[in-house]
Amino acid sequence: EGVLSSIERGRTETARVGLVSSALGDHPDVKEMLRGLSESGIELNVSSVRAESLDAELASMLVGLGVRTVTIAPEAATPALRDVIGKSAGDEMLS
């Protein structure tokens, strides 16, 4: 709710906003926030999305908001390194 109201207050002539976050997909209300942006007619850019938080619904919502490219952050290059740092994104998620 705070993000949406901030966007509306700062909105000028542009219909596109950018969300920069280290863990956008981990926000507990990310899908509700994206629905609110969509209802407001706002298009979106995002900096990146952690691979393990990206599901089909979130990807579809991002596309619907005009996102054409997104950086997927796997956190480490190999499955073994991801296991060491506790990240669950397998290679199948990244291809």
Cα 9 from Cα 19, distance rounded (Å): 15
* Helices marked H in 1-95: 2-10, 30-39, 56-64, 79-84, 91-94
| 8 burial level (CB within 10 Å; 0-12, 13-18, 19+) | exposed
Please tell me the predicted confidence (pLDDT) of residue 14.
66
**Strand blocks (E) in the chain:** 16-19, 43-46, 48-50, 71-73
Please tell me the predicted confidence (pLDDT) of residue 9.
66
Closest CA to 46 of 5, 91, 54, 8: 54
Neighbours of 10 (CB within 10 A): 9
Is the whole-model pTM more than 0.75? no
Please tell me the predicted confidence (pLDDT) of residue 28.
87
**Residue segments in the chain with a per-residue pLDDT below the cut of 70:** 4, 6-7, 9-14, 73-74, 88-95
Cα 61 from Cα 29, distance rounded (Å): 13
Please tell me the predicted confidence (pLDDT) of residue 58.
92
